[in-house]
Amino acid sequence: MYKILIIEDEERIARFLELELLHENYEVYKAFDGKRGLELFQLCAFDLILLDIMLPGISGIEVLRKIRQTSSVPVIILTARDSTVDKVFGLDKGADDYITKPFSIEELTARIRAALRKKAESNKINSEDCLSSGDLRLFPQHHLVTYGDVEKIDLTKKEFDLLKMLLLNKNLVLTREKLIEQVWGYDYLGETNVVDVYIRYLRSKIDDVFGKRIIHTIRGVGYVIKDGEIKERTKY
């Protein structure tokens, strides 16, 4: 069953949508403000998000921006009548579609079905847009990491970005400083051992699970992922 999140501050509309979508056999969650919406988004993998643009507190556009930092989940924005600016801005910020209030439920459900269909098609992943080393594959546009036949390795955003950076620079040793700059940003003020901590997280989720040595430590320098040199792991 598809899971849909409704982020809409007008509770009457949110409840109406919920009832209609339940009737269409979707699993429905709702949030009455952006903050709660983002919390639910973090907690649960939704198949689609209906997002009102005019929200109190965190605006719909800001919610959309945050969602797009980690996810390509289809988002349909709900805009006020004739608000061309919201539509253009929303689509520009990564919304998949928009619908103008007031709308008919038939129109909305047709758009939901279209967005879910489009997503399913784009999920037929093209092997060209993946980074890999041996059986490990990372799909940047889908925030997806696979190993062999294992369909999905759950990584946090930072773990994913770190792994991506190592795979993008395959066979090159990256220093901790370089990795911090690329993954945490220039303005990162914490400890440089954050890299070591996250490398440990990655190893515990990948190397340890699959019994391979994928991320190599180059003592005194940094880390590297090599191509085609994944051996059975002995010890680091």
Residues engaged in binding Ca ion (CB under 5 A): 9, 52, 54
* Torsion angle defined by CA atoms of residues 149, 152, 157 and 160, in that order, rounded to the nearest 10 degrees: 0
**Residue 77 or 230 having the CB closest to Ca ion:** 77
- Contact partners, residue 141, CB within 8 Å, separation at least 6: 72, 129
CB-nearest residue to Ca ion: 54
Please report how close the Cβ of residue 52 comes to Ca ion at its closest, in angstroms: 4
**Residue 9 or 135 having the CB closest to Ca ion:** 9
User: Tokens standing for 165?
Assistant: 């950076």
| CA angle in degrees (0–180, nearest 5) for 163-204-146 | 50
**Residue 78 or 206 having the CB closest to Ca ion:** 78
**Residue 38 or 125 having the CB closest to Ca ion:** 38
User: Tokens standing for 129?
Assistant: 């847009």
Please report how close the Cβ of residue 85 comes to Ca ion at its closest, in angstroms: 15
How many C-beta atoms surround the C-beta of residue 132 within 10 A? Answer: 15
- Contact partners, residue 17, CB within 8 Å, separation at least 6: 6, 8, 28, 30, 50, 108
Please report how close the Cβ of residue 86 comes to Ca ion at its closest, in angstroms: 11
**Residue 65 or 117 having the CB closest to Ca ion:** 65
**Residue 9 or 27 having the CB closest to Ca ion:** 9
Please report how close the Cβ of residue 61 comes to Ca ion at its closest, in angstroms: 12
Please report how close the Cβ of residue 9 comes to Ca ion at its closest, in angstroms: 5
- 67 burial (CB, 10 Å; 0-12 / 13-18 / 19+) is buried
* Torsion angle defined by CA atoms of residues 218, 220, 223 and 225, in that order, rounded to the nearest 10 degrees: -20
Please report how close the Cβ of residue 25 comes to Ca ion at its closest, in angstroms: 26
How many C-beta atoms surround the C-beta of residue 35 within 10 A? Answer: 14
Q: Cα–Cα distance between 122 and 204 in angstroms, integer?
A: 30
| For helices 11-23 and 105-122, angle between their N-to-C axes, nearest 10 degrees | 70
**Residue 63 or 115 having the CB closest to Ca ion:** 63
Please report how close the Cβ of residue 56 comes to Ca ion at its closest, in angstroms: 8
